[in-house]
Structure 1
Amino acid sequence: MPVKTLNLNLWQLKYYRVATRFGLLAEACLALLLFPVLRGLSMFQLLNIEFAASIKYHVWFGTGLIFFSLVHGGSTLFIWTITHHIEEEIWKWQRTGRVYVAGLISLVTGLLMWITSLPQIRRKNFEVFYYTHHLYILFLVAFLFHAGDRHFYWVLPGIFLFGLDKILRIVQSRSEICVLSANLFSCKAIELVLPKDPRLNYAPSSFIFLNIPLVSRFQWHPFSIISSSSVDKHTLSIMMKCEGDWTNSVYNKVEEATNSEKKINNMAVRVEGPYGPASVDFLRYDNLFLVAGGIGITPFLSILKELACKNRLKSPKRVQLVFAVRTFQDLNMLLPISSILFNPIHNLNLKLKVFVTQEKKPSNGKTTLQEFLAQSQVQSIHLGTDEDYSRFPIRGPENFRWLATLVLITVLTFLGFLIGLSHFFIPSEHKNHSGVMKLVASGAMKTAKEKVPSWVPDLIIIVSYVIAITIGGLAATILQWRGKHREAPRMSKEEVIKPEERNFTELKPIPLIEEHEIHTGERPKLEEIMSEFEKNLRGWSSIGVLVCGPETMKEDVASMCRKWPQCFGVEDSGRNRMKMNLNFHSLNFNL
């Protein structure tokens, strides 16, 4: 509604203008909102920022968007109320200008998405969060009709790339691959082994998004990769802990195959990724201090596997792993790296401290970590057929040139349809010989006072966007089809470790006394462990401190790093003076 028709006094006019400025701030947040959640087209990877770390920017922009929108919408409704125009304006769909009812729809939709994304709801009811977040389509369409095409162009780049990124992920994940094998651990954790293209390399601590149609055709969940592409050329492994309905369903489906005659054949999954850091950043440190809690151990499994196969000249000299769990059964999650822990052939200077917080002693009576893991029970199930070892392996995201070509094709298509449809449906202005302004549209003459309805250019943007994204999806499908049919190295059964041959419990005894420690009934005292770790270092040392676990654990590790003396002399037994530099990194195992 024009300000002049509201008959506002001075303070009301100023307040109304402030409300309008808050709307512009919400628009700025929306312009940046979708960039952090891009996966295949992520710009944060150019800055070496992981996808999991960039999610926090999406949360910040989303919170800012809702706050500014609430102030903008609430203040506007307040002005309408005190001027007795609210019933007149709130439900009216204006022919030209801003559509206020669309703004109300956008505000309510955005608020609903924000509430269901709060950690208290998202972690306990992920399905509610997941399905509610798909209301973003209604939110963006309502915003377009409310703000108009001119304001929408400011936020269009992020929306455009997000739509194309979504299409790319659909194209990548439309092919189903079959799980080769599964390993069920007694701690209600499950390891899935998937086939991958041997040319696909990924950095440790990477993750994938997984969909299992047998459980749900629509739900996608992120899982850390526990394998290393330097070691496992043809397979990729993930581990999930049963802490929700979806993961429990996966565990039960696989477990049923071992307890009944009805065997699951060709357990099909869809995969997005892998996504992760652009480089192996942890190799630049002289030493590593790793802290994990529960299922947070999964990123470190891939890191330790990578370190075990690296040249010792380029790897950290010492590695301290602190692993905190609730029960002894949770220690079974260390089985994938049991050969690294107890086999000296890997030549990895690794020391492990385990803290079991809720139990005093294991039920099997074993006192050492090696004895406990040797008695652990693992059910290994072979799910793949002969064809599954080379059929539709995980290929990973495409290269930069491929993505740049696709973006260029889609942008040119969008601009072409936008210009063409605008020229056809929106009349153009020109002057006749008498100097009278006329509008020509579809062969009919109109006066200059007549305006095109505001929904016409809005619909043109939507139609052009849908056509461009569709053509981009077709181009991506064709390009991927051509790449898939190129000759790729095939793997055979002999090149893949079969589940029958992966006997986790066959641990060879080592001649030295086991250095790994188990502490029961207590939590790790990080400062004491770091002090002990520091005593074994000589000279200047850079230490990479990586943590993955609950938020309280991350806060404790960050607090320790802030308190610890950094970049200045620390007494070393009264003889030497050494320098330490602690570099804190937080890894996420859930998004």
Structure 2
Amino acid sequence: MASVTRREEGASVKAIMAMRAAIELLLGIVFLGYIMVWLMSSTNIFYLHWMPRVHAETNFTFIGAQGQNTLIFTFPIIFIAVMACLYLHLGKKLGDHGISSKGGSMFDRWKRPVLIKGALGIVTWTELTFLLMFIALLCWSIYSYLHAMFAPIRQEAAAEGLKVWEVKLSSLGLTLGLVGNICLAFIFFPVTRGSSVLQLVGLTSESSIKYHMWLGHMAMTLFTLHGLCFITFWTETKQLSKKMLKWDDLLVSNVAGEIALTAGLVMWATSFTCIRRKMFELFFYTHYLYIVFVVFYVFHVGFSSACTILPGFYLFAIDRFLRLLQSQQKVCLVSARVLPCRAVELNFSKSPGLKYNPTSSMFINIPSISKLQWHPFSVTSSSKLEPDRISVMIKGDGHWTNKLHQKLSSTSPRTTHLKASIEGPYGPASPDFMRHDTLVMVSGGSGITPFISIIREILSQSNTKTVKTPKLLLICAFKHCVDLTILDLILPVPESANAAPLDFSCAELRIEAFVTRDKEMKPEDESSSQIQTLWFRQNGTDSPVAAALGSNSWIWLGAIISGSFVIYLVLIGLATQYYIYPIDGNTNMRFSTPAKAALNILSICVAVVVTATVGFLWNNRRSSSQTTPVLNRAIPAPTTTSPATLLSGGDSESAEEVESQPRNAIRQATTVHLGKRPNMNRILLEVEGESVGVLASGPKKMRQRVANYCQSSIADNLHFHSISFAW
């Protein structure tokens, strides 16, 4: 019977993998066609031959002249996003069967770092290749547009009574604006946190932030030059004031463009590192001007032209509204561990149906500290090890985090209720690190937090023996001995693990801890290194942390994307049929362009709000009915532990710690080096394994040193991955 079950399971796995391969092929073809459209969009072939044919087939009274751009630029990405949801849902069904056992694929060399220091940060060969290809697309488009526009330039100049260079300047300004649209078409994908498109290609929103920054700099450079060209042109032709104040109802609205550009410049100015790091809140709140930018951009170019950049923003709008719905719920904060190194671990109640992978992150809001501020933190828990808890570690490095630590450290062990809201968690679609034979995790300071989730995940996997787990080597650097208390978070709060005690002998874990500034353990450090566990009273209105769209979130997201898009088409179709067409007749010369754009924006908002709200409420109700209430659970007695025995080889007077076999196993696996820094060249050279994953998380210079060794190393078995959550 067991062999029959295994054969059936094997056949099911093969069928799912075949379906995923077919979807990959189909979406690859669609995306290549989409890129081909962008390549050809700047040529006369596209405008004089392709577009007239498409226009003749799509110029219906139902949707009007914007049908051609909707079909060519919008529909392919919407289709990819929906099919990606199906692809990811099938991936969840594969579970551990979807993890490859080895890491030596032909693409691994392309994942090696090639640029380490510089404005771009750590860049792999793959990233550099795609960046150069994208820049080549921009350069080709500029050349192609100018080549077509400059051909009849002398005749146009003579007909308009202008100098040739003035007409060339006007053409250059138009070209820069058109090419800037290419950057704008892709700029929202990296910041769509729950994006199926990102997950399809193995990316997360955290790792893609730098792509958003690159695209933002390129877009604003092009749009700024676009504006300067026209301002110069209007100045030279003595029509500056007339053109600057022109709001055309049928053609291009200059005032709308100026408002959009101003909003973009403010966002751009506050996004540079020197301002973003020192005044993060200024950067964060000014970025809400993207709403002003997008709305007036659409008014400036008209909705038909805006369809070229619509799909990225459309998917972002769905994701943003789902995040808004999720953030309105108050979640159940069960306990907190307060560390003497000014760090805290928050433990939230979680719906058992919520599954996430290691290195995920959550955005947290605590109204008693700030009603407006949301901050991202790495998840330290494992959904397999802790089915009813999700945890994050927060280091007191800023004003908000210091206030949280101060609030919790001054709170009584049996404290009252603490309100909190979350967005997320967001993370990779699959635990890619499981494919390696050995994992080397290099961290500095609070950079250890994503590695805690990896260690917990592998401890859980090794205890269940469902898949072969890699060997683990954690190299962590801290400034002071008191920071070693963070290692105590490798084990979850005792009440949060419902399973049997962990057997550490199943996992090969070695920890090398380096304390860089202290050369010896001081008595006051040992006496003060007490970790206090706080338990919070529960409120009946609080809910466990749950996925915004439930356990089948990818299927629901695909339904929301496709359903809302259909509703939008129906709404704008009815508006066109019975309101716009009787006035305009598909001429685009009678009905106000901004009014038409406003109708489209309103239709999109209605479609997104209706479908996302229905999906969220339906899944929220199902999640509530399946979750055990937490209101009347008994509050355990407060506890304190001391990890100072890491330095004494495990001798301690605490009976609780002596009895804790997992804690003793952690101590035995840990070697502490006082007053030293890790010699990465020696450590990595000694690591054995056919496939070695090298993960670096922490300060920029530390990650660069690790990347530099992996780049220059002759060992092909080292596979570098940088984890950075710094905006």
Normalized against structure 1, the TM-score is what? 0.84
The one-letter amino acid of 2:605's match is V
**Candidates 611, 617, 631, aligned match of 1:472:** 611
Residues 103 and 331 of structure 1: CA distance in aligned 2, closer, same or farther (over 3 Å): same
- Look up the match of 2:256: 102
- Look up the match of 2:43: none
- Look up the match of 2:204: 50
- Look up the match of 1:572: none
- Once the 2 structures are TM-superposed, how far is the Cα of residue 68 of structure 1 from its aligned partner? 0.8
**Candidates 241, 248, 266, aligned match of 1:87:** 241
- In structure 1, C-alpha distance between the alignment counterparts of 2:572 and 2:253, rounded to whole Å: 22
- Look up the match of 2:723: 587
Are positions 1:529 and 2:683 aligned together? Answer: yes
**Candidates 357, 365, 368, aligned match of 1:203:** 357
Which SS does the other structure have where 2:407 is aligned? helix
**Candidates 529, 538, 546, aligned match of 1:385:** 538
Residues 502 and 315 of structure 1: CA distance in aligned 2, closer, same or farther (over 3 Å): farther
- Once the 2 structures are TM-superposed, how far is the Cα of residue 386 of structure 1 from its aligned partner? 8.0
The one-letter amino acid of 2:614's match is A
- Look up the match of 1:459: 598
Are positions 1:550 and 2:704 aligned together? Answer: no
- Once the 2 structures are TM-superposed, how far is the Cα of residue 257 of structure 1 from its aligned partner? 2.0
- In structure 1, C-alpha distance between the alignment counterparts of 2:457 and 2:194, rounded to whole Å: 24
Which SS does the other structure have where 2:246 is aligned? coil
**Candidates 318, 326, 350, aligned match of 2:479:** 326
- Look up the match of 2:710: 561
- Look up the match of 1:487: 626
Which SS does the other structure have where 2:711 is aligned? helix
Which SS does the other structure have where 2:447 is aligned? helix
Q: Relative to structure 2, which stretch is displaced further, 469-478 or 278-287?
A: 469-478
- Once the 2 structures are TM-superposed, how far is the Cα of residue 191 of structure 1 from its aligned partner? 0.9
- In structure 2, C-alpha distance between the alignment counterparts of 1:524 and 1:450, rounded to whole Å: 70
- In structure 1, C-alpha distance between the alignment counterparts of 2:606 and 2:503, rounded to whole Å: 59
- Look up the match of 2:278: 124
Percent identity of paired positions between Structure 1 and Structure 2: 32
- Look up the match of 1:149: 303
Which SS does the other structure have where 2:411 is aligned? helix
Which SS does the other structure have where 1:468 is aligned? helix
- Once the 2 structures are TM-superposed, how far is the Cα of residue 511 of structure 1 from its aligned partner? 10
* Contact 1:288–1:545 under 8 Å retained in 2: yes
- Once the 2 structures are TM-superposed, how far is the Cα of residue 178 of structure 1 from its aligned partner? 2.6
- In structure 1, C-alpha distance between the alignment counterparts of 2:572 and 2:301, rounded to whole Å: 18
* Contact 1:181–1:193 under 8 Å retained in 2: yes
- In structure 2, C-alpha distance between the alignment counterparts of 1:298 and 1:112, rounded to whole Å: 34
Which SS does the other structure have where 2:344 is aligned? strand
Normalized against structure 2, the TM-score is what? 0.69
- In structure 2, C-alpha distance between the alignment counterparts of 1:511 and 1:421, rounded to whole Å: 68
Residue deviations 1:394-444, cap 9 Å, x none? 112432211122222211221122122223332448xxxxxxxxx789xxx
Which SS does the other structure have where 2:308 is aligned? helix
Residues 326 and 502 of structure 1: CA distance in aligned 2, closer, same or farther (over 3 Å): closer
* Contact 1:274–1:397 under 8 Å retained in 2: no
Are positions 1:541 and 2:668 aligned together? Answer: no
Alignment of 1:8-27 (within 5 A): 8-27=162-181
- Look up the match of 1:444: none
The one-letter amino acid of 2:371's match is R
Q: Relative to structure 2, which stretch is displaced further, 215-224 or 485-494?
A: 485-494
Residue deviations 1:432-474, cap 9 Å, x none? xxxxxxx789xxxxxx997223222122122212222332343
The one-letter amino acid of 1:457's match is K
Alignment of 1:231-242 (within 5 A): 231-242=385-396
* Contact 1:96–1:453 under 8 Å retained in 2: yes
Residues 458 and 130 of structure 1: CA distance in aligned 2, closer, same or farther (over 3 Å): same
Alignment of 1:390-539 (within 5 A): 392-398=543-549, 399-428=553-582, 451-489=590-628, 498=636, 500=638, 503=641, 505=643, 506-508=656-658, 514=668, 516-531=670-685, 533-534=686-687, 537=688
- Look up the match of 1:284: 435
- In structure 1, C-alpha distance between the alignment counterparts of 2:457 and 2:666, rounded to whole Å: 24
Are positions 1:190 and 2:344 aligned together? Answer: yes
* Contact 2:298–2:597 under 8 Å retained in 1: yes
- Once the 2 structures are TM-superposed, how far is the Cα of residue 16 of structure 1 from its aligned partner? 2.0
The one-letter amino acid of 2:519's match is K
Residues 525 and 239 of structure 1: CA distance in aligned 2, closer, same or farther (over 3 Å): same
**Candidates 262, 266, 271, aligned match of 2:422:** 271
Which SS does the other structure have where 1:43 is aligned? helix
- Look up the match of 1:298: 449
- In structure 2, C-alpha distance between the alignment counterparts of 1:289 and 1:412, rounded to whole Å: 48
Residue deviations 1:529-588, cap 9 Å, x none? 212x33xx3xx6110000101111111111010121123xxxxxxxxxxxxx10111112
**Candidates 190, 195, 200, aligned match of 1:36:** 190
- Once the 2 structures are TM-superposed, how far is the Cα of residue 510 of structure 1 from its aligned partner? 5.7
- Once the 2 structures are TM-superposed, how far is the Cα of residue 269 of structure 1 from its aligned partner? 1.0
Residue deviations 1:331-371, cap 9 Å, x none? 2211112699xx984443222222222332232288xxxxx
- Once the 2 structures are TM-superposed, how far is the Cα of residue 48 of structure 1 from its aligned partner? 2.0
The one-letter amino acid of 1:254's match is L
* Contact 2:532–2:638 under 8 Å retained in 1: no
* Contact 2:417–2:539 under 8 Å retained in 1: no
The one-letter amino acid of 1:18's match is L
* Contact 2:256–2:299 under 8 Å retained in 1: yes
- Once the 2 structures are TM-superposed, how far is the Cα of residue 123 of structure 1 from its aligned partner? 2.4
Residues 454 and 585 of structure 1: CA distance in aligned 2, closer, same or farther (over 3 Å): same
Residues 294 and 440 of structure 1: CA distance in aligned 2, closer, same or farther (over 3 Å): closer
The one-letter amino acid of 1:451's match is R
The one-letter amino acid of 2:368's match is L
- In structure 1, C-alpha distance between the alignment counterparts of 2:429 and 2:487, rounded to whole Å: 26
Which SS does the other structure have where 2:359 is aligned? coil
Residue deviations 1:477-517, cap 9 Å, x none? 432344234334567988x9947357455443969995633
- In structure 2, C-alpha distance between the alignment counterparts of 1:29 and 1:450, rounded to whole Å: 29
- In structure 2, C-alpha distance between the alignment counterparts of 1:481 and 1:294, rounded to whole Å: 37
- In structure 2, C-alpha distance between the alignment counterparts of 1:348 and 1:131, rounded to whole Å: 45
Which SS does the other structure have where 2:691 is aligned? strand
Which SS does the other structure have where 1:208 is aligned? strand
- Once the 2 structures are TM-superposed, how far is the Cα of residue 290 of structure 1 from its aligned partner? 0.8
- In structure 2, C-alpha distance between the alignment counterparts of 1:28 and 1:285, rounded to whole Å: 38
- Look up the match of 2:104: none
- In structure 2, C-alpha distance between the alignment counterparts of 1:299 and 1:498, rounded to whole Å: 28
Residues 464 and 394 of structure 1: CA distance in aligned 2, closer, same or farther (over 3 Å): same
Residue deviations 1:268-306, cap 9 Å, x none? 111111111111211111111110011100001111112
Residue deviations 1:163-204, cap 9 Å, x none? 111111112222101311111111111111100012222111
Which SS does the other structure have where 2:420 is aligned? strand
The structure with the largest strand share of the pair is 1
Residue deviations 1:291-338, cap 9 Å, x none? 001110000111111222223774445322111122222222111126
The one-letter amino acid of 1:353's match is E
Which SS does the other structure have where 1:39 is aligned? coil
Q: Give the unaligned 5+ runs of structure 2.
A: 1-155, 494-501, 644-655
* Contact 1:299–1:589 under 8 Å retained in 2: no
Q: RMSD value over aligned CA atoms?
A: 3.0
Residues 357 and 317 of structure 1: CA distance in aligned 2, closer, same or farther (over 3 Å): same
The one-letter amino acid of 1:56's match is K
- In structure 2, C-alpha distance between the alignment counterparts of 1:482 and 1:454, rounded to whole Å: 42
- Look up the match of 2:519: 360
Residues 515 and 254 of structure 1: CA distance in aligned 2, closer, same or farther (over 3 Å): closer
Residues 488 and 185 of structure 1: CA distance in aligned 2, closer, same or farther (over 3 Å): closer
Residue deviations 1:115-169, cap 9 Å, x none? 2122322222221111111111110111011111221111111222211111111
* Contact 1:196–1:234 under 8 Å retained in 2: yes
